[in-house]
Structure 1
């Protein structure tokens, strides 16, 4: 569901002016909103020297490369401006979607192209130690299938069927993830990756699965939608909410946890309560 209307934006980056970081510049180039040095100066208000310094960091790290000459930046003429391009080939990412009884994992390029993937049975009730260790094994096999070295991985993303504290990456009182409440998912999955590949630890992002689905759908399919809601119906029911291009999480990450809204029925839900929406309308209930 989408409420139409242009997402409110100014001519500056979200952080604006002298506070615009190298990451902000990278996002401007990747989104196509500014693909020359001159355009970056205009969008951020940064000086030419500061833009150059921050671009140098991105070039050294492999995130950007120079493309063909584009339109002349100056109205006075001169040489064509060198365009800047996001380099999606210098690294890969690992991603996994964990449901209550199965999971899907993949190796992807930085532009989202799937290089190798695997799905299979993985039961969250077996607990985080066993499940995350198995994901580490899956990742190692997938990298081998994709022909990429573990050292090329720059990060791991994991979607889970429960509310997530975005600051800690921990699930908060998940109704369908017994034994996961407050568990250090980021740390354990990073260690599992290292244990099964021998590569150094990499950053791990953990979020609610419906949140990630909503964010990805809004970014790729409906970038001009100011308020976007995606509802996921599986073993449970959840929703992801995106407002002005950012996830709306609510208290303890539970803004989209609509499966446990009371709907006036005496059906027993998996969470232990009676009358939840998920007890009558989820995949398991149907």
Structure 2
């Protein structure tokens, strides 16, 4: 009778180390006994999983608890400084890049004026060069890099990271952004719409317990990041939140870059607002110029910004009635021009939405301001690389490497 030989299984670290790690991500120190009580697992299983996480340097010891007799038990907690991620927020005319730890704390950052219309090759060459600069000027940056996330100002197919017919990004349609970046950095690369990552950044920084939030970016274009039930909503093809190309009720038939007329972007986007004020005889070219005049109490600038807020509010009122958010946050260059845009939004949203939907609704400006994008991008990739499944893969890869080294040493004896 032939003997069946079964190939040995690949060495694995303690199964479920990634699941245990999720309990420690809040940063609170816990002993093995406390972890056993929380999870219902045996102490031997907890010990093996803790050892695997210590080996990955994802957790560390942080002192000891009071002893009930014998040696005091050690406390273990998340070690966010053990690894780093890179984040990029690419707008139509600007970019902010950052290096963060695993808690999303910004270690270093840089910003520049970048024309997204220059195309993917030129733009991403600058991103790669700037990422390299951030890593080189921070000790251990390259050695600890674990992931990259990039936000772009257009619809993105989230599963592939490829832009999908973005109106203000000529030449970017279906371009392989992750593949291009991974030619230089061998780590996971995620790409999302810039407003989605801003919504994540704002929620993380200012509204961590809020389950239903809308983030509105008012800059060259107008877009919305939607968090509902605590989850970012991207839609079927990743185009959820493209508010700039919703027709404004009763709006003028102004042509829009998307090919339609009367879109919110054509009436209240940065270029439109600057054009409206210039038509009144003021020498302005950008939304920032409009904001500066408003800060000087220029009546015409204030009126133009207030009307832009009303137009945005007319479309947002429909979103409020449909999605019933508890918080609406306005960010982007135009929203940062002052309270005038936000005042216009409040005026129309509270008037046009149902009383129940606005009973506890908060409408305000961004707390994270221009750093919302990179904060959100870092959290996007951190959630990916620190998921239970991803941590288990890391632990198993480390166990297999150690086993291979042990086998090699044994054969050399």
Query: TM bucket by the smaller chain?
Result: 0.7 to 0.9
Instruction: Name 1:165's counterpart in structure 2.
Output: 157
* CA displacement at 1:217 relative to structure 2: 1.7
User: What SS does the aligned partner of 1:100 have?
Assistant: coil
Structure 2 contact 28–77 (Cα < 8 Å) conserved: no
Structure 2 contact 158–191 (Cα < 8 Å) conserved: yes
- Which has the larger share of helix? 2
Distance 1:149 1:213, change over 3 A: closer
Cα separation, 1, equivalents of 2:182 and 2:255: 37
Cα separation, 2, equivalents of 1:253 and 1:71: 51
Structure 1 contact 28–34 (Cα < 8 Å) conserved: no
| 1:230 pairs with 2:232 | no
Structure 1 contact 159–209 (Cα < 8 Å) conserved: yes
Select the residue among 205, 226, 239 that pairs with 2:224.
Answer: 239
Distance 1:175 1:111, change over 3 A: same
Distance 1:259 1:48, change over 3 A: farther
Distance 1:125 1:109, change over 3 A: same
Q: Deviations over 1:102-141 (max 9, x none)?
A: 2111222223332322111222212212211111111111
- Structure 2 unaligned spans of 5+: 1-14, 274-413
Q: Deviations over 1:221-261 (max 9, x none)?
A: 22221211111111111111122332111121122111111
| 1:55 pairs with 2:50 | yes
Distance 1:255 1:35, change over 3 A: farther
User: What SS does the aligned partner of 1:284 have?
Assistant: helix
- Which has the larger share of strand? 1
User: What SS does the aligned partner of 2:62 have?
Assistant: strand
Structure 2 contact 27–78 (Cα < 8 Å) conserved: no
TM-score by length of 1: 0.80
Cα separation, 1, equivalents of 2:46 and 2:154: 41
* CA displacement at 1:218 relative to structure 2: 1.4
- CA-based RMSD of the aligned residues comes to 2.4
| 1:86 pairs with 2:100 | no
| 1:140 pairs with 2:96 | no
Select the residue among 201, 205, 222 that pairs with 1:220.
Answer: 205
* CA displacement at 1:279 relative to structure 2: 1.0
Cα separation, 2, equivalents of 1:64 and 1:158: 27
Structure 2 contact 244–263 (Cα < 8 Å) conserved: yes
| 1:273 pairs with 2:260 | yes
Structure 1 contact 102–123 (Cα < 8 Å) conserved: yes
Cα separation, 2, equivalents of 1:273 and 1:71: 69
Cα separation, 2, equivalents of 1:124 and 1:140: 20
- Count residues with an aligned counterpart: 256
User: What SS does the aligned partner of 1:68 have?
Assistant: strand
User: What SS does the aligned partner of 2:82 have?
Assistant: coil
Distance 1:165 1:22, change over 3 A: farther
* CA displacement at 1:95 relative to structure 2: 1.1
Q: Deviations over 1:11-46 (max 9, x none)?
A: xxxxxxxxx954443232122478343444444454
Structure 2 contact 92–168 (Cα < 8 Å) conserved: yes
| 1:258 pairs with 2:243 | yes
- Structure 1 unaligned spans of 5+: 1-19, 195-200
Which structure has more RCO (C-alpha within 8 Å, separation ≥ 6)?
A: 2
User: What SS does the aligned partner of 1:250 have?
Assistant: coil
Bigger-Rg structure (1/2): 2
